[in-house]
Amino acid sequence: MIGSSLVIPFLPLYIEQLGVKEVARIAQWSGLVYSATFMLSAFVSPIWGRLADKHGRKLMLLRASLGMAVIMTLIGLVQNVYQLFFLRLLMGAVNGYIPAAITLVATQAPKEHSGWALGTLSTGSVAGTLIGPLIGGTLSEIIGLHHVFFVTGGFMLLSFLVSLLFVREEFVKPTRTDLTNKEVFKLIKHPKVLVAMFLTTFMIQFANMSIEPIVTIYVNQLAQNMGHVAIVSGAVVSVAGLSNILAAPWLGRLSDQYGARKILMVCLFLAAMVFIPQAFVHNLWQLMGLRFLLGLTMAGMLPSVNSLIKRSVPQSVTGRVFGYNQSAQFLGNIAGPNLGGQMAAYFGIQYVFISTSALLFLNAGWVYITGKKTLEHP
């Protein structure tokens, strides 16, 4: 996650350096380039999930990390925004390290501790997200934007080596590996509720990612040309990660104790509340404070969804089902930045925060209605 998040603070600056000058166009291209990786990922995730169930999750970790190491290095050599978009799109075809890691933990951890295990995994993921923007923002001013991608490729290669040498998996190959999608859903007790979780994942990611690619632009407006925008943007992005690290294991234990559905609903509602005042801040300190609170609420969302899914499906098809859920997450990653970028370009960044809040309120109600009887804590 350090490698993946290194580029977040300066992606709009990189696009500008590649020849896009107008602020509105930078916002639009930021959304497109940011979401390009997830376009193909949304379609290939179930395929990688199926292969993970058939051949093991560790193999998927190695495939994804090595592929991303090569592509990240190539991104540092691009000459225009179209090449950047193409390589980000290609990355989506080989992406999938985090989904494979989630499936690995979900299948290896005891069922009664799945919330804590997935919450702890989320802590590691968010820790990388926290450190990455700070490193990326600093390195971009020291060694230049292009060279940061070479560093990112190095982090991806390191991830490959760590996975190769230290990850252990007790993999039991299922008796059948050629199940159709229809047969997979027949093995699930409440398939309609599972689909509801997929939609919830989509809405969470749509809301969460709608603002990410335009944070740098918002910071620049609030900073009033104070300089070092990349570093400041990295700090604004990272502060939510810091609070997420603090909250994720605690919320994971609460999920095991009181039920993942309850934690999910509360976090969705509180996040919706926190998004509203972000549209009306007057300085960076206010924005950073609200982003810190947002990280606390976000910490319980996707781990709770993953825990609910893990408890709802047989282990033999866990990889496939998590692949479906990752497709929903990637679709949210596509729609969020694109619509967020377009809305910011035509109506202003403030409207993005308000619409995001509305979606989260709807999501909380959706979880309450669809899972009232079938997603209670066992």
What are the residue boundaries of the structural domains of the chain, listed by start?
2-166+180-370
Nearest to 36 by CA among 11, 58, 59, 6: 11
Burial 177-199, CB ≥16 within 10 A → b, else e: eebeeeebbeebebeebbebbbe
Q: What angle do CA 110, 371, 202 make, to 5 degrees?
A: 85
Whole-angstrom distance, CA of residue 164 vs CA of residue 153: 17
Report the residue count for the chain.
378
Whole-angstrom distance, CA of residue 48 vs CA of residue 323: 7
Q: Give the pLDDT of the chain (378 residues) as one tens digit per residue.
A: 555 666 666 778 888 888 888 877 887 888 788 777 777 888 888 888 778 777 778 888 899 889 999 999 999 899 999 999 999 889 888 887 777 777 777 776 666 666 667 766 766 666 665 667 667 777 877 888 788 889 888 888 998 998 888 877 776 666 655 667 677 777 777 777 788 888 888 988 888 778 776 777 788 788 776 666 667 776 777 788 788 888 887 888 888 788 888 899 999 999 999 999 999 998 888 998 999 999 899 888 888 888 888 777 777 777 778 888 888 887 887 788 778 888 888 888 888 999 999 989 988 888 888 766 555 544
Nearest to 133 by CA among 2, 234, 4: 234
Give the CATH number of domain 2-166+180-370. 1.20.1250.20
Determine the distance from the C-alpha atom of residue 34 to the mean position of all C-alpha atoms in its chain, rounded to a whole number: 12
Whole-angstrom distance, CA of residue 362 vs CA of residue 376: 20
Q: Please give the pLDDT value at position 280.
A: 92
pTM of the model: 0.71
Q: Please give the pLDDT value at position 125.
A: 65
Alpha helices in the chain (DSSP H): 2-5, 11-17, 23-55, 57-75, 81-94, 97-108, 114-142, 145-166, 181-186, 191-209, 215-223, 229-258, 260-278, 284-298, 301-312, 318-346, 349-370
Residue type, 368: Y
Q: Please give the pLDDT value at position 233.
A: 72
Pair of tokens at residue 242? 């810091």
Please give the biggest Cα pair distance in the chain.
62
Q: Please give the pLDDT value at position 4.
A: 61
Q: Please give the pLDDT value at position 33.
A: 84
Residue type, 279: A
Pair of tokens at residue 139? 């390195």
Q: Which residues contact 273 (CB under 8 A, 6 or more apart)?
A: 357
CA quadruple 212, 73, 65, 234: dihedral sign: negative
